């Protein structure tokens, strides 16, 4: 079960009905990720994915200072031995990235349930890529977002080279990454990096409100809307129309649609069961 698992670097709970929350729990390191954290994140995301009673995911960071500041390049801690081993292996750094944060971002992007990044403080470099792996990003007014990887001669290698231009356009993404810019939350929203900005004090309540609303939607429709729109970003209109034709053969005859129509006619909230 999702909430029963214990991790060294994460806290997993269910704050609302149908809502799962994963909290990166390294506040002393501004929630910078280690390879160990990426393995735990993959396990937690898979547990959420496979539990039918959970229908929306909130991803956040512990404390007020940061959502995630990218990879932990401090050189110490539990991953020090792992890092030394990687450095001696042929193609070790590439494999570490593939099996680490890239796999986390891919797991989020492939989820057939909606996910929300709740951003307090800094979401930079790989932390910004992690937030962009989620479907929606809600940021506190004091949040800071950008790409600082280049300051250390590093790259947007966790998926940022693909995600950043799609969120904000190629020219703006290049400017952010090449100049290592960090934006306040409202500027980031204007650039397309943030879905909604909320005053800090009300951020958690707003995110949980949206997550609970998503969890109450018809699961079949939610999953297919995600699939259709995500695929449509990479295909033409004709192919997207065909996907829609196939999808309605799943949703239109479903019990959820019958319930939704009945609830509309009876002027009551629907009770969707995902079938």
Residue-wise pLDDT for 98-143, tens only, equals: 999 999 999 999 999 999 999 999 999 999 999 999 999 999 999 9
Geometric angle at alpha carbon 102, from 18 and 208, rounded to 5°:
25
Contacts for 196-199 with beta carbons within 8 Å, 24 or more apart?
Answer: 196/136, 196/137, 196/138, 196/139, 197/138, 197/139, 197/140, 197/141, 197/143, 198/138, 198/139, 198/140, 198/141, 199/140, 199/141
- What does the domain layout of the chain look like in residue ranges? 2-215, 219-266
Instruction: Reply yes or no on whether the pLDDT at 85 is more than 60.
Output: no
pLDDT in tens, 211-221: 999 999 999 99
Q: What is the pLDDT of residue 250?
A: 85
3-class SS of residue 29: helix
pLDDT in tens, 164-174: 999 999 999 99
Q: Rounded to an integer, what distance in angstroms lies between the CA atom of residue 214 and that of residue 189?
A: 21
Furthest C-alpha separation in the chain: 67
Query: CB within 8 A of 187, min separation 6: which ones?
Result: none
pLDDT in tens, 193-239: 999 999 999 999 999 999 999 999 999 999 999 999 998 988 888 88
Rounded to two decimals, what is the model's pTM?
0.92
* SS3 letters across 161-210: HHHHHHHHCHHHHHHHHHHCCEEEHHHHHHHCCCCEEECHHHHHHHHHHH
Fold topology of 2-215: 2-enoyl-CoA Hydratase; Chain A, domain 1 (3.90.226)
Task: Tell whether the torsion through CA atoms of 29, 205, 101 and 146 is positive or negative.
Answer: negative
Residue length, the chain? 275
| Cα-based torsion angle of the residue sequence 47, 53, 59, 64 in order, rounded to the nearest 10 degrees | -120
Geometric angle at alpha carbon 180, from 176 and 184, rounded to 5°:
70
């Amino acid at each position: 079960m999702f909430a029963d698992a214990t991790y060294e670097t994460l806290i997993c709970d269910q704050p609302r009905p149908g809502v799962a929350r994963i909290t990166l729990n390294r506040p002393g390191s501004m929630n910078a990720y280690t390879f160990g954290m990426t393995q735990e994140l993959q396990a937690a995301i898979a547990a959420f994915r496979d539990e039918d009673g959970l229908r929306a995911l909130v991803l956040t960071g512990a404390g007020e200072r940061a959502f995630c500041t990218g990879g932990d390049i401090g050189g110490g801690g539990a991953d020090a031995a792992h890092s030394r081993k990687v450095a001696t292996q042929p193609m070790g750094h590439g494999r570490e990235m593939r099996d680490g944060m890239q796999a986390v971002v891919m797991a989020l992007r492939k989820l057939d349930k909606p996910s929300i990044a709740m951003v307090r403080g800094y979401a930079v470099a790989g932390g910004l890529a992690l937030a962009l792996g989620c479907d929606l990003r809600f940021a506190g007014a004091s949040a800071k977002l950008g790409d600082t990887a280049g300051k250390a001669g590093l790259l947007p290698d966790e998926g940022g080279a693909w995600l950043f231009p799609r969120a904000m356009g190629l020219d703006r993404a290049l400017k952010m990454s090449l100049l290592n810019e960090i934006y306040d939350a409202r500027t980031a929203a204007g650039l397309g990096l943030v879905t909604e900005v909320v005053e800090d004090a009300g951020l958690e309540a707003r995110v949980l409100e949206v997550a609970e609303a998503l969890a109450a939607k018809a699961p079949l429709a939610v999953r297919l809307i995600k699939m259709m729109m995500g695929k449509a970003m990479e295909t033409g209109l004709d192919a997207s129309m065909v996907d829609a034709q196939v999808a309605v053969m799943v949703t239109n005859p479903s019990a959820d649609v019958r319930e939704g129509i009945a609830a509309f006619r009876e002027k009551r909230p629907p009770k969707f069961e995902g079938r």
